[in-house]
Copies of this chain bind each other. A is one copy, B any other.
Amino acid sequence: MSSVVSEPAILHQVAIGLGERSYPILIGSGLLGAPACWRDLPAAPAAMIVSNSTVAPLYLQRLAGALQGRFRKVHHVVLPDGEAHKDWATLNAVFDALLAHACDRKTVLFALGGGVVGDMTGFAAACYMRGVPFVQVPTTLLAQVDSSVGGKTAINHPLGKNMIGAFHQPVRVVCDLDTLATLPARELSAGLAEVIKYGPIADMGFLDWIEEHLAALLARETGALAEAVRRSCEIKAAVVGQDERESGLRAILNFGHTFGHAIEAGLGYGEWLHGEAVGCGMVMAMQLSRGLGLVDDALVQRVTRLVRAAGLPVQGPRLGADRYLELMRVDKKAEGGDIRFVVIESPGRAGVRPAPEPLVREVLERCTA
C-alpha cells in the first residue's frame, strides 16, 4: 500500500498566523516524496529526520530522498514507538544523534510520525543549542488535525503527562494523506476524536459535516480526509493565533482532555491511545456541561453517539472517583489545586470553569464501567 506514490497534489493550504513565527500547513497527496514541498525551507548544511520503529520502515527513505535536494547531509534517528517512550531517555537519543553528527544550530529537524514523535522532535528542536528549526511531517490523523499544529511540545514525567516541554513553533507542517493508508484502524478512530472535538467547541456546522461523512472518513477517502484535516487545522489555527501560549482561549482545545489525561495516567500511559481517552473524556465533559445546566441532553447524546460510531470508548475505566480527582488536580490546567474543566457553554462555544466536586463525582460514576 505504502509503495504506491501518487502524483504530488497540494489539496489545501492553511496559514497559521503568528507574526514572525507564522507558517503554512500543506495538506495533500504524495507530498512526502515531492521536493517542491521542501524547497524553500531554511538553508542549512544538515537535516535530521526523527522517526519511530513503525513509521521509519514505511516512509523514512521517501522523505530522505526528497530532502537530499535541499540539504547536503540528511541524517536520521529512529526512536522506539509508543507513548511509553515519550521520556527523557528517548529524547536524549535525539541529542546524542545530533551531537554525534556534529549538527550545528542551523540544522533542521523533521518529525516523521505521530503525536509522540512530533512532541519529542519539537521539544528536542526547542532545546538543542537553545533552539533549532523543525518541520512537522505527521503520519497519523491525530497528529495531522491536532498535535502537529500550534507549537506545543513536551515529554512526560512519571508524575504527569506533558509536564516538561516548550512552546516552539514548527516552520512548516506537511500532512501527506497517503500516509494514513497504513494507519491501524484503532489509530484512525483516535484521530477522529480530535476531529469531532472541533464541532462542539467551535463549529456545529462542522459537526453536521462529520456526521454525514463519518463512513467516508472511516473508509479513508482522500477527499473526506482532506476536508476533515483542513477544517480542523483552520479552527485550531484561529484559536492558536489568538492565544499562542495558552493564557486563556487556547485551553478550549483541551475539551475532553482533563478527564482524558486522568484516564491515560491512571491506566499507565500507552494503555489507551490518547485519542481514545479524549473521546471518552469528551463524553464526560459533555455530561459535566449538562450537569452545569449549559447544554441539553440531546447534544450530550448526539456527541456520545458520534464518538461511539467513530470506534471510540464512551465509558472510562473504573479507577474510582478519588483517583480521578487526584490525577486531575496535578493536570497543568489546575491552578492552586482547583480543577478547571473545559465545558460547552452553548452548542459550538466552549469555556473554562471549575465544577462542584459532587457533580464531578456524579459524572465519573455515570461514565465509568
Contact between chains at A336 and B104 (CB < 8 Å): yes
Residues of B within 8 A of A130 (CB): 152-154, 162, 165-167, 245-246, 332
Residues of B within 8 A of A336 (CB): 45, 104, 106
Known contacts A130-B167, A152-B130; decide if A160 and B99 are in contact (CB<8 Å): yes
Question: How many copies of this chain?
Answer: 2
Q: Is A88 interfacial (CB-CB < 8 Å)?
A: yes
Q: Give the interface segment out of A10-18, A78-86, A121-129.
A: A121-129
Alpha-carbon distance between A163 and B127 when the two chains are bound, in angstroms: 8
Chain B residue, CB-CB nearest to A332: B129
Q: Which of A131-165 contact B (CB under 8 A)?
A: 131, 152-154, 157, 159-160, 162-165
Chain A interface size, as a band, is 35 or more
Q: Which of A276-296 contact B (CB under 8 A)?
A: none
Q: Is A40 interfacial (CB-CB < 8 Å)?
A: no
Contact between chains at A131 and B245 (CB < 8 Å): yes
Nearest chain B CB to A91 CB, angstrom units: 9
Contact between chains at A99 and B163 (CB < 8 Å): yes
Contact between chains at B166 and A105 (CB < 8 Å): no
Q: Is A272 interfacial (CB-CB < 8 Å)?
A: no
Q: Is A330 interfacial (CB-CB < 8 Å)?
A: yes
Alpha-carbon distance between A321 and B154 when the two chains are bound, in angstroms: 40
Partner of A332, one of B100, B105, B154, B159: B105
Interface centre among A95, A153, A164, A337 (most CB of B within 10 A): A164
Residues of B within 8 A of A61 (CB): none
Q: Is A53 interfacial (CB-CB < 8 Å)?
A: no
Q: Is A271 interfacial (CB-CB < 8 Å)?
A: no
Nearest chain B CB to A325 CB, angstrom units: 12
Known contacts A100-B159, A130-B154; decide if A164 and B332 are in contact (CB<8 Å): no
Residues of B within 8 A of A246 (CB): 130
Q: Is A102 interfacial (CB-CB < 8 Å)?
A: yes
Alpha-carbon distance between A246 and B106 when the two chains are bound, in angstroms: 13
Q: Is A208 interfacial (CB-CB < 8 Å)?
A: no
Q: Is A329 interfacial (CB-CB < 8 Å)?
A: yes
Alpha-carbon distance between A72 and B206 when the two chains are bound, in angstroms: 46
Q: Is A92 interfacial (CB-CB < 8 Å)?
A: yes
Nearest chain B CB to A352 CB, angstrom units: 14
Residues of B within 8 A of A332 (CB): 104-105, 129-130
Kindly supply a per-residue 1/0 record for chain A positions 326-343, scoring 1 wherever the CB is within 8 Å of any chain B CB and 0 otherwise. Answer: 000110101111000000
Q: Which of A329-368 contact B (CB under 8 A)?
A: 329-330, 332, 334-337
Residues of B within 8 A of A165 (CB): 127, 129-130
Contact between chains at B92 and A159 (CB < 8 Å): no
Q: Is A221 interfacial (CB-CB < 8 Å)?
A: no
Alpha-carbon distance between A334 and B103 when the two chains are bound, in angstroms: 9
Contact between chains at B159 and A96 (CB < 8 Å): yes
Contact between chains at A157 and B105 (CB < 8 Å): no
Contact between chains at A163 and B126 (CB < 8 Å): no
Alpha-carbon distance between A106 and B335 when the two chains are bound, in angstroms: 8
Q: List 11 A-B contacts (CB under 8 A).
A: A95-B163, A99-B157, A100-B159, A102-B334, A102-B337, A104-B335, A105-B335, A127-B127, A127-B164, A129-B165, A131-B245
The 7 nearest A-B residue pairs measured at CB: A99-B159, A45-B336, A130-B165, A129-B332, A127-B164, A104-B335, A130-B167
